[in-house]
């Protein structure tokens, strides 16, 4: 069990909605995305798989390189692959702002 | 040569089993009538799982929607089979009992409120052992209290099935709806094999498991009420029918004499053939659904 | 764990009721008798091993099909007899290994059988019968859900032979990939996992833990002692509500079930707004 936290202070575009996607089943995770209360974006991850801090940081860096919403993200993880993490994040964004597709 | 394109029924139907618990729950409520209570953003999680290195879930695998079904007040409680096999923990159990108790209070105050339980569960969550067992006892008590006023409808869709203590809770409900893919039993085949040996139950014998625990058998032998296709519309229609039906004349778990006599008549010198049993038990008088 | 499941239950059943055989027509595994208890006549029920069981997986003190239907029948009989009069106390003497783990049982829908017994206990409670569970040995899993866990009040002997749990230790160790020693150690840190009755008592589900000298051999003194505790529990049940809310309001529950109580409070709040 590991708790990871990342901040992305430059993600400042206001968002108004919240979204929940995914299930904490084997190889999957849930993400809760909602407007940040403090400005910038904060990510908090609770994962049952230890030792993947660097991979998590890489995925989050990649996500916030394309996305600038000021969101609070909470993740409960049961061993999702980096690919499914990105998919879940994109699904959450799609729910809070259907037309603001992530910059490609 | 010409050929008309025929779209088979299984392509047109909307699978219910493929949905997660939340989507299943939403698909059974009257559109626009419902609100989720104590949802993921309330973040009431199991305190016991992280202590054992296991990630919790923000809704503890239990989704509660309040609204209407067939125009009548209803609460829908769904267990997420993909989170800890739908097992019952302190929080999921508390959500279920609280929702049932509030439906009972509303019913006593004149607003009859039905409950629909979507059970995908192996029973007690072993990481919360004694609290899991305790909440199942409390869920059972709350089902029995509500069942005097308004119907409690259990839906078992699959693929986890409904086992352990929660199968007893299913047995207490007013009606049980099952799909062909659903299984219902107190002890899972693996548990029986482990406790009583492979000669008692070979848990790798899938055909035997379906013959005993499967939806077709449980409905066929009269211990569940309706067999439905894995189709969200068909399951919704079945649930609406039982919400409208109100209370059964005698809940199945009070038909003690009937089942005591049937048990007395069983030849226990060898294993019981499921198909023979189905034929001998299948009588219309036993359908809990019939009024 | 006590030497043999059910023997302790049988000894105490006999001490309370003066009887040691089942009622006419009942299987050898269920003992039922009415006996004086203070001002009341109480109905005592006990599941015991039955070497001549018709069902091969239900002979060693398990709750199977016949046990469930017999309990349901005898409880409903008391409800019916008392429907216009004083509701007699119903005492479940609990010393049960588990539910029966057999294929015959599954085929013949043991989930429904156990539901009839739990329904009968709960129906008695909701109709005003004080229902007391007296745990003096094992109270494991579906066995306890069927026989005892619907009681208004649960009493347990304070003794190493008393084990209340969701799954017996060997199976739990196997499934959770832990050794029995690890399981014991974990239990002292995480109370709901524990097999120790003192840890169970912390959860706030018990009405009282009773220290009884030599629990395998009831004596005049200990029988009188336990009878007094039963009488007190009956009075307490009669004075209280007919649901299980006392399990949520106990000091133990307020300490150990904070998350569950928070979920319940939030549900009540949001229910009224919805």
Q: What CATH number did the domain enclosing A40 receive?
A: 3.30.230
Number of domains observed in the structure of chain A: 1
pLDDT at B13: 79
Is C touching B (3+ C-beta pairs, cut-off 8 A)?
Answer: yes
Q: Is residue A32 part of a domain?
A: yes
Same domain, yes or no: C184 and C57: yes
**What is the spatial distance between Cα C265 and Cα B94, in angstroms, rounded to a whole number?**
10
Q: What is the distance between the terminal CA atoms of chain C, rounded to a whole angstrom?
A: 49
Residue in C with minimal Cα distance to B173: C115
Q: Of A27, A76, A84, A91, which to mutate for an interface test with B (greatest number of B Cβ within 10 Å)? A: A76
- pLDDT below 50 — which residues of chain C? 1-2
Are A40 and A20 in contact by the 8 Å Cβ rule? The answer is no
User: What kind and span of H or E run contains B28?
Assistant: helix B21-28
Rounded to a whole number, what is the distance in Å from the CA of C265 to chain B's nearest CA? 8
Question: From the CB coordinates, do chains C and A have 3 or more pairs under 8 Å?
Answer: no
Classify residue A104: in a domain, yes or no. no
C235 and C176 part of one domain: yes
Residue B46: closest CA among chain C residues belongs to which residue?
Answer: C259
| Touching status, chains A and B (3+ beta-carbon pairs under 8 Å) | yes
C-chain residues within 8 Å CB-CB of B256? 69, 72-73, 76, 116, 120
CB half-sphere exposure, A104, CA atoms < 13 A: 1
C208 by Cβ neighbours in 10 Å (0-12 / 13-18 / 19+) ranks as middle
The nearest alpha carbon in chain B to C140 belongs to B133
For chain B, say whether A84 makes contact (Cβ under 8 Å).
no
Q: Do A76 and B58 touch (CB under 8 A)?
A: yes
Residue of C144, C145, C265 to mutate, interface with B, max B Cβ within 10 Å:
C145
Expressed as residue numbers, the domain containing A70 is 2-96
Residue A101 domain-assigned (yes or no): no
- Cα(B95)–Cα(B167) distance, rounded to whole angstroms? 18
Starting at the edge strand found earlier in the chain, the sheet holding B226-228 runs: B35-37, B62-69, B72-79, B114-118, B152-156, B175-179, B226-228
What is the per-residue pLDDT across B37-80, written as a single tens digit (0 to 9) for each?
999 999 999 999 999 999 999 999 999 999 999 999 999 999 99
Q: Decide if B5 is inside a domain.
A: no
ipTM of the prediction = 0.97
Residue B152, SS3 per DSSP = strand
**Which pLDDT value is given to residue B3?**
58
How far is Cα C107 from Cα C118, in angstroms, rounded to an integer?
20
Same domain, yes or no: C91 and C211: yes
Total domains, chain C: 2
* Contact list, B148 vs chain C (CB under 8 Å): 126
pLDDT of res. C173 = 86
- Asked whether residue A27 is domain-assigned, the answer is yes
Strand partners, B148: none
pLDDT score for A102: 55
Kindly state whether residue C2 falls inside one of the protein's structural domains: no
Between CA B263 and CA C67 the distance in angstroms is 11
Instruction: Decide if A76 and B56 are in contact by the 8 Å CB cutoff.
Output: yes
What DSSP letter does each residue of chain C carry, written as one string? --SSTTHHHHHHHHHHHS--SPPTTS-TTEEEEEEEETTEEEEEEEE---TT-SSGGGSSS-B-HHHHHHHHHHHHHHHHHTTTSPPPPEEEEEEE--B---HHHHHTTHHHHHHHHHHHHHHHHHTT--EEEEEEEEEEHHHHHHTTTT-SEEEEE-STT-EEESS-HHHHHHHTT--HHHHHHHHHHSGGG---HHHHHTTT--SEEE--SSTTS--HHHHHHHHHHHHHHHHHHHHS-SSSTHHHHSHHHHHH-HHHHHHHHHHHHHHHH-
- CA separation, residue B213 to residues B117, B229, C29, C80 (Å): 19, 17, 26, 34
Tell me which residue in B39, B54, B58 faces A48 most closely, judged by beta carbons: B54
Looking at the fold, whether C190 and C113 belong to one and the same domain comes out as: yes
- The answer to whether B278 contacts chain C (CB < 8 Å) is no
Query: Which range of residues forms the domain containing residue C189?
Result: 7-242
Question: Chain C contacts of B259, Cβ < 8 Å?
Answer: 69, 109, 112-113, 116
Task: Give the minimum alpha-carbon distance from A38 to chain B in angstroms, rounded to a whole number.
Answer: 17
Cβ pair B50:A25 closer than 8 A? no
CB atoms within 10 A of CB C171: 18
Average pLDDT along chain B, 291 residues, taken 10 residues at a time: 62 88 98 98 98 96 98 98 97 98 98 98 96 98 98 96 98 98 96 93 95 97 97 97 97 97 96 96 57 33
B273: in domain: yes
The mean of the pLDDT values for chain C is 95
Closest residue, chain C, to B262 (C-alpha): C108
Beta bridge partners of B227: B178
Nearest CA in chain B to A2: B53
Identify whether the C-beta of residue C74 lies closer than 8 Å to the C-beta of residue C30.
yes
Please give the backbone phi and psi of residue C80, each rounded to the nearest 5 degrees, phi first.
Answer: -65, -45
Q: Is residue B33 part of a domain?
A: yes
- B229-240 residue pLDDT tens: 999 999 999 999
Q: What kind and span of H or E run contains A20?
A: strand A19-22
Q: Are C106 and B223 in contact (CB under 8 A)?
A: no
* C231, C256: one domain: no
Asked if the Cβ–Cβ distance from C115 to B257 is below 8 Å, we say: no
Q: How far is CA A46 from CA A1, A50, B166, in A?
A: 7, 10, 29
Coil vs helix vs strand at B149: coil
Chains interfacing with B (3 or more CB pairs < 8 Å): A, C
Residue A98 has pLDDT above 70, yes or no: no
Please check whether residue C170 lies inside any domain of the structure. yes
pLDDT(A72) > 50 = yes
Instruction: pLDDT band for A39, please (50, 70, 90 cuts).
Output: confident
Is C55 in Cβ contact with B133 (below 8 Å)?
no
Instruction: Name which of B68, B96, B73 is nearest C267 in CA terms.
Output: B96
Name every residue in B having a CB less than 8 A away from some CB of A.
20, 39-41, 43, 45, 50, 53-58, 80, 82-83
**B17 and C CB contact within 8 Å:** no
Closest residue of chain B to A27, computed from CA coordinates: B82
- CATH number of the structural domain spanning residue B55: 3.90.226.10
State how far the alpha carbon of B176 is from the alpha carbons of B152, B223, B277, C152, in Å: 9, 8, 19, 28
Q: How do residues C15-29 score in pLDDT, each as one tens digit?
A: 999 999 999 999 999
Which range marks the domain in which residue B211 is found? 13-286
CA distance B87 to B173: 19
Q: Distance (Å) from the C-alpha of residue B196 to the closest C-alpha of chain C? A: 6
Indicate whether C160 and C271 sit together in one domain.
no
CB contact under 8 A, B130 and C268: no
User: Which residue, B7, B93, B76, is CA-closest to B36?
Assistant: B76
pLDDT over 80 at A103, yes or no: no
Summarize pLDDT for C153-180 with one digit per residue, the tens: 999 999 999 999 999 888 888 888 889 8
Cα-Cα end-to-end distance for chain A: 33
* Domains held by chain B: number: 1
Chains B, C: CB pairs < 8 Å:
251
Residues C270 and C175 in one domain: no
Residue B145 lies in a domain: yes
Chain A: closest CA distance from residue B120 (Å)? 14
């Amino acid at each position: 069990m590991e708790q990871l936290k990342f901040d992305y202070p430059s993600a400042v575009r206001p968002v108004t909605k919240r979204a929940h996607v995914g299930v904490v089943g084997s190889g999957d995770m849930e993400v809760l995305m909602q407007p940040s209360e403090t400005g910038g974006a904060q990510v908090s991850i609770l994962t049952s798989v230890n030792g993947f801090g660097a991979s998590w940081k890489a995925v989050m860096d990649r996500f916030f390189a394309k996305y600038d919403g000021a969101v609070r993200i909470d993740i409960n993880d049961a061993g999702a692959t980096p690919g499914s993490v990105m998919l879940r994040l994109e699904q959450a964004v799609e729910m809070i702002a259907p037309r603001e597709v992530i910059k490609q | 040569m010409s050929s008309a394109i025929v779209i088979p029924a299984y392509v047109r139907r909307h699978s219910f089993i493929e949905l997660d618990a939340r989507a299943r729950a939403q698909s059974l409520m009257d559109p626009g009538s419902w609100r989720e209570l104590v949802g993921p953003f309330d973040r009431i999680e199991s305190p016991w799982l992280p202590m054992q290195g296991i990630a919790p879930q923000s809704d503890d695998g239990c989704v509660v929607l309040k609204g209407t079904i067939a125009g009548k007040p209803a609460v829908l409680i769904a267990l997420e089979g993909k989170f800890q096999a739908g097992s019952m923990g302190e929080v999921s159990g508390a959500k279920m009992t609280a929702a049932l108790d509030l439906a009972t209070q509303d019913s006593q105050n004149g607003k009859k409120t039905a409950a629909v339980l979507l059970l995908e569960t192996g029973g007690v969550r072993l990481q919360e052992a004694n609290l899991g067992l305790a909440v199942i006892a409390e869920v059972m008590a709350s089902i029995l209290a509500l069942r005097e006023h308004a119907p409690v409808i259990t839906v078992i869709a699959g693929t986890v099935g409904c086992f352990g203590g929660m199968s007893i809770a299913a047995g207490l409900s007013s009606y049980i709806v099952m799909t062909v893919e659903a299984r219902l039993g107190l002890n899972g085949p693996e548990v029986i094999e482990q406790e009583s040996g492979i000669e008692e139950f070979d848990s790798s014998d899938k055909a035997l498991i379906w013959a005993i625990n499967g939806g077709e058998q449980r409905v066929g032998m009269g211990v569940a009420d309706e067999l439905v296709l894995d189709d969200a519309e068909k399951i919704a229609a079945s649930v609406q029918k039982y919400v409208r039906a109100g209370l059964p004349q005698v809940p199945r778990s009070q038909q003690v004499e009937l089942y005591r006599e049937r048990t007395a008549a069983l030849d226990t010198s060898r294993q019981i053939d499921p198909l023979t049993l189905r034929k001998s038990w299948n009588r219309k008088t036993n359908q809990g659904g019939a009024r | 764990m006590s030497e043999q499941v059910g023997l302790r239950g049988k000894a105490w059943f006999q001490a309370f009721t003066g009887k040691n055989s089942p009622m006419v027509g009942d299987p050898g595994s269920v003992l039922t008798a009415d006996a004086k208890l203070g001002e009341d006549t109480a109905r005592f029920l006990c599941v015991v091993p039955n070497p001549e069981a018709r069902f091969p997986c239900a002979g060693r003190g398990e709750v199977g099909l016949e046990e469930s239907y017999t309990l349901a029948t005898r409880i409903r009989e008391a409800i019916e007899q008392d429907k216009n009069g004083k509701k007699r106390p119903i005492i479940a003497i609990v010393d049960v290994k588990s539910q029966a783990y057999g294929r015959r049982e599954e085929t013949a829908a043991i989930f429904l059988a156990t539901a009839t017994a739990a329904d009968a206990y709960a129906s008695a409670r909701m109709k005003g019968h004080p229902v007391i569970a007296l745990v003096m040995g094992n109270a494991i899993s579906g066995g306890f859900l069927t026989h005892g866990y619907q009681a208004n009040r649960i009493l347990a002997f304070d003794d190493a032979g008393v084990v209340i749990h969701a799954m017996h230790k060997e199976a739990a160790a196997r499934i959770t990939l832990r050794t029995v020693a690890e399981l014991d150690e974990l239990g002292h840190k995480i109370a709901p996992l524990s097999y120790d009755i003192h840890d169970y008592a912390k959860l706030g589900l018990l009405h009282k833990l009773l220290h009884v000298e030599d629990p395998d051999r009831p004596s005049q003194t200990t029988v009188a002692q336990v009878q007094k505790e039963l009488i007190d529990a009956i009075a307490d049940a009669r004075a209280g509500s007919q649901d299980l809310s006392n399990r949520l309001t106990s000091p133990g529950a307020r300490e150990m079930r904070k998350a569950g109580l928070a979920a319940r409070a939030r549900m009540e709040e949001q229910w009224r707004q919805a």
